[in-house]
Amino acid sequence: MSGGCLISVSKDKTCDTTKKIGGISGRMWLLNLNAADGTPLTYTETGKTISDITVQSGLAAYPVDGEKYSHNWTYGVAKPGINKYYSQALNIRTIIDGDADLQWLDEVLMATNLVAILETNDQKFVVLGQYNGLTATESDAYDSGQEAASDQATTAALIGEEVEAPYKYLDTGNGYADTLTYIIGLETPAS
């Protein structure tokens, strides 16, 4: 038997990486992985960093506002046999307060494959669901209590699986402000 899969890269730590701020900003974007006709999103990437997303005609990146630290995501690794894949889980927590919000919630819960772009508090943008999408799971979606300090946010739980990486970064190569402007530009439906 050969040597198997070997590690071939090192992992360095710098003062900048040590000073990272934890948590997710309240802002994120959701995109449809596939259009109604099956056309997928396409990506330009180098290594594990995406620099461009081509959105299908008529679709856009749909912003989701929330409070800082309200959303959360995790990933895990599974190794069935000799292969591996990464599970991804995203909890979107937001206030539902009217008809438009209820329509949004219904669409998120029924969407079959979503891609999420999350803004972290250290000004990075994480992409989940890149090739296989995220899909809502059956779960309790509303938290409320009987005290004034009770949580009133609705939670939509999404899961997915990716083969390449536990997540990827979105970076246009020109820093935080340029990448943020780029993502906001994706909010306009593609022609």
Q: pLDDT (tens digit, 9 = 90+) per residue, 104-155? A: 989 999 998 999 999 998 899 999 999 999 999 887 666 666 666 666 778 8
pTM of the prediction?
A: 0.86
Fill in the DSSP letter of residue 37: T
Q: In a 10 Å sphere around its CB, with 0-12 CB exposed, 13-18 middle and 19+ buried, how is residue 130 labelled?
A: buried
The per-residue pLDDT for 1 is: 46
3-state helix, strand, coil in the chain (%, to 5): 15, 35, 50
Backbone angles phi, psi at 83, to 5 degrees: -95, 180
pLDDT value at 11 more than 90:
no
How much is the CA Rg of the chain, to the nearest whole Å?
18
**For the residues 8-34, what does the mean pLDDT come to?**
77
